[in-house]
Amino acid sequence: MNSATIRRLAWLLCSLPLVWMVWAALTSNLGGNPVETLEHETGRWALNFVVLSLAVTPIRTLLGLNAIASLRRTFGLFGFAYAFLHVLIYAVLDRGLLWSELLIDLTKRPYIILGTLAFLIALVLAATSPKFAVRKLGGLRWRRVHRLAYCLGPVAVAHFLWLKSGKNLWEQPALYAAVVAALLIWRVFHWLNKSRELSSQSRPSSA
């Protein structure tokens, strides 16, 4: 399978949760509190795609699957799309776009502050994702900006963890935290190895 086919397939699969949500909403199939269900589902999928996006490079490197390289962007953009719906549903359907309510939440609920921060990071990443943005920023600067993705993972997981901590429900957030930690730790080792290789190459081979 070439990379374009993989990308098209990924688009299709990544849209499925949204299709399901729309169908369930239209058929009153979201349980007793549909707004809450949509909030939870869009949030969960946003987080899933952030994690998937972070997993692309390690998997590509470890398995030598260069064809999946473009999925990092696909997953990232879907993560943003679900996060956008998440924020929209929260602000419009849940809080009725009442600024007073939204402000109270921002001051009262630490996890809302973390969620807002995560969304802002995702917004920067999504906004600088089109090709012309890459050209405008220049490769080096673009790469620096996109290191924010490594912050996004932990902040998004912290948002989820803090939400669940209210009822002492640690299992799910702990699982996400472990996966994100593993993906970031892999990068640290990968960079260390690369820089060691580089420095050994640059040493004059006098022997």
Partner 1 sequence: MNSKVRVKRSWDFVRQSEITPEEVFQSRRRLIKALGAGSVSESILASRWLSSGLAVGAGMAASPIAHAAFAGSTKIDELPSLSGRRSKWTVIDAPTPFDIAASYNNFYEFGTDKADPYRYAGSLKTHPWKVVVEGECNKPRTFDLDDLKKLAPMEERIYRFRCVEAWSMIVPWIGYPLSALLKAVEPNSKAKYVQFVSLADPKQMPGVKSKVLDWPYREGLRIDEANHELALLTFGQYGKVLPNQSGAPVRMVLPWKYGFKSAKSIVKIILTEKEPSTSWNMSAPREYGFYSNVNPNVDHPRWSQASERKLGEGSLGGLFAPRRKTEMFNGYADSVGWMYTNMDLKVFY
* Cβ-count burial 100-134 (b if 16+ within 10 Å, e if not): eebeebeeeeebbebbbbbbebbebbbebeeeeeb
The answer to the question of residue 26 lying near partner 1 (CB under 8 A) is yes
In angstroms, the Cα distances linking 84 to 32, 118, 193 are 24, 11, 37
Kindly state whether residue 188 participates in binding partner 1, applying the rule CB under 8 A.
no
Site for partner 1 in 101-160 (CB under 8 A): 101, 104-105, 108-109
Examine residue 34 and tell whether it contacts partner 1 (CB under 8 A). yes
Q: Candidates 79-87, 99-107, 126-134, 143-151 — which segment interacts with partner 1 by CB under 8 A? A: 99-107
Amino acid identity of residue 138, one-letter, is: G
Q: How many angstroms separate the Cα of 25 from the Cα of each of 20, 36, 88, 155?
A: 8, 12, 15, 29
Residues 106, 112, 117, 119: is their CA dihedral positive or negative? negative
Which range, of 32-40, 47-55, 181-189, 193-201, touches partner 1 by CB under 8 A? Answer: 32-40
Closest CB 122 distance from partner 1, rounded Å: 24
With CB under 8 A as the contact rule, the residue among 33, 61, 172, 195 that binds partner 1 is 33
Nearer to partner 1, 78 or 90 (CB): 90
* Contact mark string toward partner 1, 52..71, x via CB under 8 A: --------------------
Q: Which is nearer to partner 1, 105 or 153 (CB)?
A: 105
Residue 198: DSSP 8-state: H
Q: Which stretch binds partner 1 (CB under 8 A): 41-49, 125-133, 146-154, 161-169?
A: 161-169
CA-derived radius of gyration, the chain = 20
Does 29 sit near partner 1 (CB under 8 A)? Answer: yes
99 part of the interface to partner 1, by CB under 8 A: no
Least distance from C-beta 22 to partner 1, angstroms? 11
* Three-state DSSP state, 17: helix
In 3D, which of 130, 125, 148, 116 has the Cα closest to residue 79?
A: 125
| 31 contacts partner 1 (rule: CB under 8 A) | yes
Residue among 143, 96, 158, 148 at smallest CA distance from 121: 148
Residues binding partner 1 (CB under 8 A): 25-36, 38, 93-96, 98, 101, 104-105, 108-109, 166-169
